[in-house]
Structure 1
């Protein structure tokens, strides 16, 4: 596929997924591709991740497993693209399949559920709603903690659930996006720093950091642009906060969209949080107020929608530029 076709495909897929999400009839008929990838990873991990071996052998086994997963998924992506990319109907099916690799609609709906619960029903239902989208302990979160957790999740997942798969879809077509989602799924399944996965998941975690690097910066730029068009804050204010605070984050990527979101909304995000029995002493992102509420979540969702719309327009414009240049 050429950049003309992949940029156009990316714009179409982003628009379709934003409006309809992943089609329910496809979910009933063929399931969800991410589930298939998860089954593949789970089946081979249990065989290759031998706890009795030394650390270097475990790391090597994890890298071999990762290469195997990528090879399987990559071959499937190439075959599907060649089978479907030969007609208008096939390209439509290709676009529908690609919507499964994005999470705009579901992410928006899950975060909106937190805001609605917090505004209409109170803290307890909101804790349950936010607990479905964050990994930290939600049981002790107050109103501000719930709101900040939802906004942080929205920012981070915009990067790795929307911007990153769209970026790799534009770069490598369906196969590129599928390979990205394989890496991202592998990181979520085996990239944890637990006794079982600390060594085996080392390669998956490092590669996930690498492939998310461009998207994290792009997500921050999109939030900065959305802040300007939405009257939230100036691009200079957002970018200054991002450049200053993003490197303080424990993740090499998550700090970029989180800080951009914080700068745009005039909030302070991040800080200490509890995962299971562990307290993570994270740095604060932004220099605004900490007392976030449901209205701030709705403002974050508006910023998210504007950033998503800008992204669609950018890919559509790039497709038109390549068409115009022949």
Structure 2
């Protein structure tokens, strides 16, 4: 389904979201697609994830849940695409709908709030802000730990919150972006390795790994390109870090943007940390400084904005190639 229209739709969605985000009045009336998808997942999880079921039965229930969530989301997105007028007004409507699937502006704002909190209110405020965007235990984090957590979240969510929905929208239109968002929401809700979800969420976690494979590589590419145009960043070091470290990360995808960002800015990211009371051993991305602070978060955000611009320019070039 690759075409100038799908490329233009992904580009327009990114532009709209960067300019206006997801307006609070719209959220107050309609909520957000993620909340609708999340409500369906929660309903199915309560009904089907029974403690008394065998491991195989819970895996089967998880496969069924993922399939039903994808089917419902796909039908709704396809119907919206089908009934939208086949003119400029219809394209704008679809682009606005697709803009709800990406999170450039909100990701920037959430990460920037961590830097502001550290700068103006201190460590405890920084911990409260970073706890809103990471799943790890933040209670024992110092300033450097809070800063690294914010930067790591920026890198990982650039891939799965910005690049991936734009990629699948560019490939399959609104339906592709919506299906990706459903898969990613399922992973974030049930794709955990604890006792409750390790079987029921198995399918969601594996499927999310699969659909994020191309986006994580593109995210690393956009960060490398951004480093070429960012004062104080090193694109060659970013490439070196990706080649050396990305494949060593416990996630098949998160290591790519984390390594690229770490290498570009001479950081050391990832490594051992605690999630839900459990210590997770992981290798470091990059071999630079681990003692980060609020200023380093702002440097990472500056690189992130250039990476977002690189993605938009690439999509605009594809539109031009297909049209002319």
Q: Same fold (TM over 0.5)?
A: yes
* Matched positions, count: 324
Between the aligned partners of 1:286 and 1:256, the Cα distance in structure 2 is 11
Alpha-carbon displacement from aligned partner over 1:65-112 (angstroms, at most 9, x marks no partner): 211111111111110001114232222121111111111111100111
Which residue in the other structure is 1:157 paired with?
A: 157
3-state SS of 1:170 partner? helix
Map 1:283-322 onto structure 2 (within 5 A): 283-322=283-322
Which residue in the other structure is 1:218 paired with?
A: 218
Which residue in the other structure is 2:254 paired with?
A: 254
Map 1:1-326 onto structure 2 (within 5 A): 3-324=3-324
Q: Compared with structure 1, are the counterparts of its residues 23 and 93 closer, same or farther at alpha carbon in structure 2 (3 Å cutoff)?
A: farther
How far is the alpha carbon of 1:271 from its aligned partner? Answer: 1.2
How far is the alpha carbon of 1:178 from its aligned partner? Answer: 0.5
Between the aligned partners of 2:143 and 2:52, the Cα distance in structure 1 is 46
Between the aligned partners of 1:322 and 1:73, the Cα distance in structure 2 is 29
Answer yes or no: is the 8 Å Cα contact 2:234–2:265 preserved in 1: no
Q: Compared with structure 1, are the counterparts of its residues 89 and 29 closer, same or farther at alpha carbon in structure 2 (3 Å cutoff)?
A: farther
The TM-score, its normalising length taken from structure 2, stands at 0.97
How far is the alpha carbon of 1:130 from its aligned partner? Answer: 1.0
Between the aligned partners of 1:152 and 1:10, the Cα distance in structure 2 is 25
Answer yes or no: is the 8 Å Cα contact 2:2–2:170 preserved in 1: no
Between the aligned partners of 2:66 and 2:276, the Cα distance in structure 1 is 27
Answer yes or no: is the 8 Å Cα contact 1:246–1:285 preserved in 2: yes
Larger deviation: 20-29 or 93-102? Answer: 20-29
Show structure 1 runs of 5+ residues with no match. Answer: none
How far is the alpha carbon of 1:2 from its aligned partner? Answer: 5.2
Show structure 2 runs of 5+ residues with no match. Answer: none
Between the aligned partners of 1:111 and 1:82, the Cα distance in structure 2 is 37
How big is the alpha-carbon RMSD for the aligned residues of Structure 1 and Structure 2? 1.3
The TM-score, its normalising length taken from structure 1, stands at 0.96
Between the aligned partners of 1:225 and 1:187, the Cα distance in structure 2 is 29
Between the aligned partners of 1:49 and 1:63, the Cα distance in structure 2 is 11
Q: Compared with structure 1, are the counterparts of its residues 117 and 68 closer, same or farther at alpha carbon in structure 2 (3 Å cutoff)?
A: same
